[in-house]
A and B are shown apart, each in its own frame.
Chain A
Amino acid sequence: MPSAGPVGGSRSFFSRLRDGDEFARLVTLVFAATVVLITAALVWELWINSVLPRQKFGLHFFVTQTWDPIMDEFGALPFIYGTLVTSVVALLISVPLGIGAAIFLAELAPPSVSDTLQFFIDLLAAVPSVIYGLLGVFTVVPLMRTVIYPLLNKPFGFLPIFKGPSYGVGFFTAGIVLAIMVIPYIISVSREVLLSVPRDQREAALALGSTRWESTWKVVVPFARTGILGSIFLALARALGETMAVTMVIGNTPKIAASLFAPGYSIAAVIANEFTEATGDLYLQSLIALGLALFLLTFILNGLARLLIVVTTQKGSGVAA
């Protein structure tokens, strides 16, 4: 890539270095490479520190359900399941709410309202997760047991996902708390993306006779689709890795249950709970292997997300923002 720089070309390397272009390129290259290096180092550390469970359990580690530190039997499946289920519930709630709010703020609300609300949304994004956990324990958990559970269990109790008793804590509660936590991200990023859609796109749609809503929904939103998807993936990443708030409301029971009211466990929560008191090398390394599993999960989901963006961008009419 010798001719890569926009001002590169005929000048010598040293003259470019002296002028600062090459210097800036090298410095920023080092910064960019650091990200890759940190990721690689992370994987390497997780990999070499999880030798024992990989030797003892192999791939069974990912499909067995027993987590017994006394008998030295470790399986990651209930934790992977819990992590995925809570994240999916969180997205199902937060995506429609978040994108709806972003459309209102970017397209329909007067700028003064939009800017004021944006201030509060940014504030929400900065609240520490333990605060959301407390909110979960003192508000969502009782609400779940006394209001949401009877509301869903009576009419829909025949469905496996709404069956069984509710203790207040569980997959559903964790999903709701996660949804509350990630909504600010979705709104904030989506709003920015929607605001950056060129004005002539809207004007063209209006000129062709579409209503305000039609121009928003059929032109502006598809145009900003890639950016909106990006905000959802940011939210997903946050939901997958959330530790403190989840462990306070999920019930911390390593079991797989179809019912969303049942207590469960997530990968990040079990690591935080058990790491300090993990005695024995296999136990400790199994927790590190769980960390590796979480990393892989995030990696795979991010890969799928990229794929989704590529596919939809090629199919759709809108140009990527």
Chain B
Amino acid sequence: MKRLALLAVGLLTLGAITFADNPLLINGAGATFPYPIYSKWFDMYHGKNPNLQFNYQSVGSGAGIKQVTEGTVDFGATDGPMNDDQLKAYQDKHGSGILHFPTVLGAAVPTYNVKGVTSTLNFTPEALAGIFLGKVTKWNDPVIADANKGTNLPAEDIVVVHRSDGSGTTYIWTDYLSKISDEWKSKVGKGTSVNWPVGLGGKGNEGVTGQIKQTPNAIGYVELIYAVQNNILYGTVKNSSKNFVKADLASVTAAAAAASKEMPDDFRVSITNASGNNAYPIASFTWLLIPEKIQDAGKRDAIKNFLKWMMTEGQGSVEALSYAKLPKEVVAKEEKAISKIQ
């Protein structure tokens, strides 16, 4: 009997210990593009706060918005900001709003495989819009050739390659084309998947790259990070200050800094075709979606503290993974917005 009681006490203690050791689990889901940096952040943060664990599923921006709206996850993540209908749907369901927090920046770059060309090509907005609308069909078309004097462009047909899977990269690319071409805006529009006027679809960055490598005279777009990490040849793009800018971490952050002056309070901003001499024009924030009202006080504090950490210390580790940092102005504004979470 005594032994039994001892055993019971022992089991209870064990139970108490395991219970106390159980970390607070915070679930999120969404964009795949920032997944490497998010998983690194969550891992680093768990190292500092062992009683707290973030669990992030990179299921895609669309699924992230859907899941956070349905309330099946604590936070979402997206490469394209939620539109007004989606915000309203969230408000209707939960009786309170949802906040956007920019975390890092990404960019899309034009990559190509043109016979006899090994140098960096320059692309004007007119050239990119014309090519992707199917109006510029030859590589030696003046709209391309005039920006590339000294490069011998062949009189060959252009083969356009785009993403076939829904993707944040496509969102950035089509958002840019919508801004610089009225025809694109009215005919095609912007989104994670669009009705492409021309071209072949490749699945993922690797699918697009593979298709371009194998098809002579092809052009497409991939994420900057993917292009950098795989040493892919990509071109410069003429920005709104008439400079040809090659995408890199600095020119992407410059685009964000230029746009941050007109940053709206809800951070839902497109920074494609941003002003600024060195701003790369096809760039975008990626956002965390945090509910305005979080019932569980423990989770609320944990998320708020994580956001603070992410904007300060966390930003230090983004460039190692080839993401562009948030500009200081944006961080300052975001830190104020954290207090909106209640």
Contact = CB atoms under 8 A, between A and B. Distances in A.
Nearest to B192: A277
Interface stretch (B46-54, B127-135, B159-167): B159-167
Nearest to A254: B195
Contact of A253 (B62, B190, B200): B200
A214 to B, nearest CB: 48
Contacts of A70: 188-191, 194-195
Interface in A243-284: 247-248, 251-254, 263, 265, 269, 272-279
Contacts of B207: 248
B214 interface: yes
Given A70-B188, A279-B86, A253 B165 contact: no
Contacts of A269: 164
Given A137-B210, A167-B159, A169-B211, A247 B65 contact: no
Interface string B44-78: 00000000000000011111011000000000000
B166 A277 contact: yes
B195 A66 contact: yes
Interface string B149-167: 0000000010100001111
A165 to B, nearest CB: 7
B201 A279 contact: no
Interface in A60-101: 66-71
Nearest to A166: B215
B62 A71 contact: no
B63 A277 contact: yes
A36 B143 CA distance: 61
B328 to A, nearest CB: 32
- The main secondary structure of chain A at its interface with chain B is loop
B203 interface: yes
Chain A interface size, as a band, is 20 to 34
B61 A252 contact: no
A252 B63 contact: no
Given A273-B203, A277-B62, A167 B165 contact: no
Contacts of B188: 70
B166 A274 contact: yes
Contacts of B66: 279
B190 to A, nearest CB: 7
Chain B interface size, as a band, is 20 to 34
Contact of B165 (A69, A141, A265, A277): A277
B215 A68 contact: no
Contact of A68 (B60, B194, B210): B194
Interface in B193-233: 193-196, 199-203, 207, 210-211, 214-215
A71 B199 contact: no
B189 A71 contact: yes
Contacts of A247: 164, 203
Contacts of B62: 276-279
Contacts of A254: 195
A168 interface: yes
A277 B211 contact: no
B190 A276 contact: no
Nearest to B190: A70
Given A277-B63, A279-B62, A167 B215 contact: yes
Contacts of B202: 252
Given A137-B210, A277-B165, A279-B66, A165 B192 contact: no
Q: Which of A67, A254, A279 has the most CB of B within 10 A?
A: A279
A165 B207 CA distance: 21
Interface in A155-207: 165, 167-169
B195 A273 contact: no
A142 interface: yes
Contacts of A137: 210, 214
Contacts of B60: 276-277
B164 A165 contact: no
B98 to A, nearest CB: 14
10 contacts: A69-B191, A69-B192, A69-B194, A71-B189, A248-B203, A253-B201, A273-B166, A273-B203, A276-B166, A277-B61
8 nearest interchain CB pairs? A277-B166, A252-B201, A276-B60, A252-B164, A68-B195, A70-B189, A277-B192, A279-B62
Interface of B: 59-63, 65-66, 86, 157, 159, 164-167, 188-196, 199-203, 207, 210-211, 214-215
Interface of A: 66-71, 137, 141-142, 145, 165, 167-169, 247-248, 251-254, 263, 265, 269, 272-279
Given A251-B200, A274-B165, 6 more contacts: A169-B200, A252-B200, A263-B200, A269-B164, A277-B166, A279-B191
